Chains A and B, each alone.
Chain A
Amino acid sequence: ETGVTQTPRHLVMGMTNKKSLKCEQHLGHNAMYWYKQSAKKPLELMFVYNFKEQTENNSVPSRFSPECPNSSHLFLHLHTLQPEDSALYLCASSTRPGENYGYTFGSGTRLTVV
Chain B
Amino acid sequence: GNSVTQMEGPVTLSEEAFLTINCTYTATGYPSLFWYVQYPGEGLQLLLKATKADDKGSNKGFEATYRKETTSFHLEKGSVQVSDSAVYFCALVNQAGTALIFGKGTTLSVSS
Instruction: Give residues in A with beta carbon < 8 Å to B.
Output: 2, 4, 6, 33, 40-43, 45, 48, 55-56, 90, 92, 97-108
Contacts and interface: CB of A to CB of B under 8 A. Distances in A.
B43 A42 contact: no
A40 B104 contact: yes
A108 B43 contact: yes
8 closest cross-chain pairs (CB), A and B = A100-B32, A105-B43, A102-B46, A43-B102, A98-B97, A97-B98, A105-B44, A107-B43
Given A45-B101, A98-B97, 15 more contacts: A2-B43, A2-B45, A42-B4, A42-B105, A45-B100, A90-B43, A90-B44, A97-B97, A97-B99, A98-B96, A98-B100, A102-B49, A103-B100, A104-B46, A105-B43
A101 to B, nearest CB: 8
Given A33-B99, A42-B103, A42-B105, A98 B93 contact: yes
Contact of A98 (B43, B99, B103): B99
B27 to A, nearest CB: 12
B57 to A, nearest CB: 10
Contacts of B43: 2, 4, 6, 90, 105-108
Contact of B98 (A41, A98, A106, A108): A98
Contacts of A92: 44, 100
Given A42-B4, A42-B103, A43-B89, A105 B98 contact: no
A101 B48 CA distance: 10
A41 B104 contact: yes
A43 B97 CA distance: 16
Interface in B28-66: 32, 34, 36, 41-46, 49, 51
Interface in B78-105: 89, 93-94, 96-105
A108 B49 CA distance: 22
